[in-house]
A and B are shown apart, each in its own frame.
Chain A
Amino acid sequence: MDVLYTIFSPKLMSQIFVGLSRTVILFIVASGLSLILGVLRIPNIWHGSLYMVGAFMTFTISGAFGGGSVGFWMALILAPLGVAFVSLIAERSFFQHLYEREHLMLLLLTFAFSLVFGDLVKMVWGMEYKSVPVPRIFQGSIHLFGGLPFPRYNVFLLVIGPVVAVALWLIVNKTKVGKISRAAAVDREMVGAVGINVSWVFAFVFMIGCLLAGLGGALVAPTVNVSLGMDHTLIMEAFLIVIIGGLGNIWGALLGALIFGLAQSLGILIWPQFGIVFPYAAVIVVLLLRPTGLLKSTW
C-alpha cells in the first residue's frame, strides 16, 4: 500500500490532472482541425487564429456582461458562434473556390487568413495581455489526494471534455449531415453524383470545425493570459496531435491530445527545463512507428 502511495504520489496525480485539463483544450481544438482536414482535406492554419479570436471575444463579451458568471456563460455560447459565423463567410467567399486545386494552395490560403487575422486581433484588442476572470462557481480549488489543491475550473474542463467528445461523435455518426460528410471525406464525387449538395455539407463541416476552435479559445481564456501569439504555438501542437491521431479521426484527436497533454505535464515533473520537449519527442516516436497515425484516418 505504501509503495502504491509513493508511486501515485499526490504531486504526480495532480500533475496528471493538470495534464488532463490541458488535454481537454487540445482535444477540442484538434478535433475541429481533424474534422476539417479529414473531410475537406484542408490543413487549416487559420484554426489557431480562430482559437485566439475565441479567447479575445470571451474577454470582450464577459466584460460586456459585467465580468461575472453571467458574462462567462454568455461568452461561452456567443464566442464560438461568432467564430463559426465568420468561418462560414470565409468558406463561402474564398475557400470553396479552391477545392479543386492542390492542398498547398489551400494551406497557404489558410496561412494568409491567419496573417490577416493576426493583425486584425491586434487592431481590435491592442497588444497587451488580457485577463478573463474565472466565474464565481469555479473559483477556488478542491482538495485531492493528500491535500494538493486542484482548481475547480479544471474540474469543469474535465467534465466539458467528454461532453464535447460525445456530442461530436453523435453529430458525426448519428446525424444525416454527419454521415454524408463521412462519405464525402472518402469519395467526394460519388456523394455529389447521388444528388446531395456536397458544397453545403462542406460549409457545415468547416463551420463546426472552426466553432470548436472558438470554443477551445473561450474555455482556455480564464486560465491563461489571453495574448497575441497564442495562435502560433497552439496550431503547431494541434497539427501534431491530429497527425499522430489519424487524419479525420475524432477519437484519434482525443488519443493524440492525451499523449500530448500527459507527456507535457509528466515531462515537466521529471525534467523541468526540458519537460516541454517530451510531447514533441513522443510525436516523433509515434510517427516513426506508425506514420499514418495511431488510429484509422479518412484519407
Chain B
Amino acid sequence: MLKNTLEGKGRIVGGAVIVLLFLFPLFLPRFYIYLVSIILLTGLLATSLNLPLGYGGIFQFHHAVFYGVGAYGAALTITKSGLSPWFGFVVAPLTAALLSLIMGLICIRLSKLYFGMLQISLGSLVWIIVYRWYSFTGGDNGIHGIPVPNVISSPNSAYYFTLLVTLLSLWALYKIINSPFGSALQGIRDNPVRSAMIGINVKLHQLVVLVIAGFFAGVAGSLFIVVDTAVFPDMLFWTLSLEVLIMCLLGGWFTFLGPMLGAAITIFMRTFVSGFTDYWTLPLGILMMLVIFFLPNGILGYIEEKLHGSLIEQTVKE
C-alpha cells in the first residue's frame, strides 16, 4: 500500500517538476535559463556515465572524452564541412559512440583498474591531439561562435531544445535500465561470475553499455554547443571526468535521478560560490569528503534507504 502511494506521489512531484521546467523561461532571467540548460545537459552526461558506473559496475574513469569528442565532432562538422548544422548534431553522438566502441574493444579485456587506466591513457592522447592541433581544432582556444541553426539559437529556444532532448534521452535511458538488458547489467555489477554462470556474455554486455553511454555523452556534448556555441579542450580533460564522477556519487549512483541532482548541486555551487570568491574548488572538495564519509550512497541513495527502511517497517506491521 505504502509503496503505491510513494510511487503515486513520486509521479505527481515528477510531473510538477517537468511542468515547472517548461515554464521557466516565462519568469526566470536569462542567466538562470542558461544555468538550467547547463545543468540539464551536464545531468544528462552524468546519467550517461551512471549507466556503466552505477548500474554496470564498470569504473569508467574518463567519460569526459566522449562528451568532448561529441562536442568537437559537432563543432567541426558545423564549421568545417559545408553540411547543414543539424547534421553536426547527428555526427556528435555517433562519433562518440564509435570512439566508445573502439576504446571499449581495447580496454574491455582488462579488469577493473587496468581498464580505467588504459582509458585514461587513450583519453589523454585524444586530449593532447586536440590541444596541439591548433589549425584544425583551435588548440587551447577551442572554437567559438559556432553557427547554430536559427530556430534554436536564442537563449529560450536553446533552452527548450536542450530540455526536450534531455527529457527524451533520460526517458530512453530509463527504459534501458528497466529492460532485461538493464537487469542483466545490474547482475553483472553485483556478480560477474554468477552472471556468466547463468548464461550472460559479460564482456559483450559491458561493451554495449559503454557504447550506449558514449552515445548519450555525445548527445550532451552537442547540447553544449547549442547552449554555449563554443567548445574547449577542457571538455576532454580528466578533471571534468572526475567531476562528473563526483556528481554521480553526490546524488546517488545507485539511483536514476541521483546524477542529475549531483550535477545540479555541483553547478549551483560552482556558479554561486565563484560569485563570492575565487575559491570554489575548496568547498566542492570538502563537500566530496563529507559525502564519501557520511553519505556513501549519495543524497538520493540516503533518502531511498530511509524510505525503504520505513517501507519494511510498514510491511512487517501489516
Contacts and interface: CB of A to CB of B under 8 A. Distances in A.
Touch A–B, Cβ below 8 Å: yes
Interface of A: 43, 45, 94, 97-98, 101, 103-105, 108-109, 111-116, 118-120, 122-123, 127, 232, 236, 239-240, 243, 273-274, 276-277, 280-281, 283-284, 287-288, 291-292, 299
B281 A108 contact: no
Contacts of B124: 236, 240, 280
Contacts of B279: 119, 122-123
A124 B26 CA distance: 44
Contacts of A299: 113
B246 A108 contact: yes
Contact of B292 (A112, A116, A122, A281): A112
Nearest to B122: A284
Contacts of A276: 128, 132
A287 B288 contact: no
B117 A280 contact: no
A277 B125 CA distance: 7
Given A283-B121, A292-B114, A105 B281 contact: no
Contact of A284 (B121, B132, B289): B121
Interface string B285-318: 1101100110010000000000000000000000
A45 B281 CA distance: 15
Contacts of B120: 236, 239-240
B117 A109 contact: no
B288 A108 contact: yes
Contacts of A273: 132, 134
16 contacts: A43-B113, A97-B293, A108-B246, A108-B288, A112-B288, A115-B282, A115-B285, A118-B281, A122-B279, A232-B237, A236-B238, A239-B120, A243-B114, A274-B132, A277-B125, A277-B128
Contacts of B167: none
A291 B286 contact: no
B187 to A, nearest CB: 19
A108 to B, nearest CB: 6
B54 to A, nearest CB: 11
B50 to A, nearest CB: 13
A299 B113 CA distance: 11
Given A274-B132, A277-B125, A277-B128, A105 B284 contact: no
Interface of B: 59, 106, 109-110, 112-114, 117-118, 120-122, 124-125, 128-129, 132-134, 237-239, 242, 245-246, 249, 278-282, 284-286, 288-289, 292-293, 296
Given A111-B246, A243-B121, A284-B118, 10 more contacts: A43-B113, A108-B249, A115-B282, A119-B279, A122-B279, A243-B114, A280-B124, A288-B106, A291-B109, A299-B113
Nearest to B114: A291
Contacts of B113: 43, 103, 299
Nearest to A299: B113
Contacts of A283: 121, 125
A56 to B, nearest CB: 16
Given A116-B281, A118-B281, A239 B245 contact: no
Contact of B285 (A43, A113, A122): A113
A73 to B, nearest CB: 33
B282 A280 contact: no
Contacts of B249: 108
Nearest to B242: A111
Given A115-B282, A115-B288, A277-B128, A108 B242 contact: yes
B117 to A, nearest CB: 5
A108 B112 CA distance: 16
A49 B70 CA distance: 30
Given A109-B289, A236-B238, A277-B129, A287 B281 contact: no
A243 B117 contact: yes
A62 to B, nearest CB: 26
A45 B245 CA distance: 14
Contact of A281 (B117, B125, B238): B125
A109 B296 CA distance: 12
A245 to B, nearest CB: 12
B120 to A, nearest CB: 7
A284 B59 CA distance: 19
Given A122-B279, A232-B239, A243-B117, A277 B288 contact: no
Contacts of B106: 288
A108 B281 CA distance: 14
B313 to A, nearest CB: 28
A120 B282 contact: yes
Contact of B125 (A101, A108, A243, A280): A280
B121 A98 contact: no
Nearest to B238: A236
A178 to B, nearest CB: 24
**Which residue of B114, B120, B289, B292 has the most chain A CB atoms within 10 A of its CB atom?**
B292
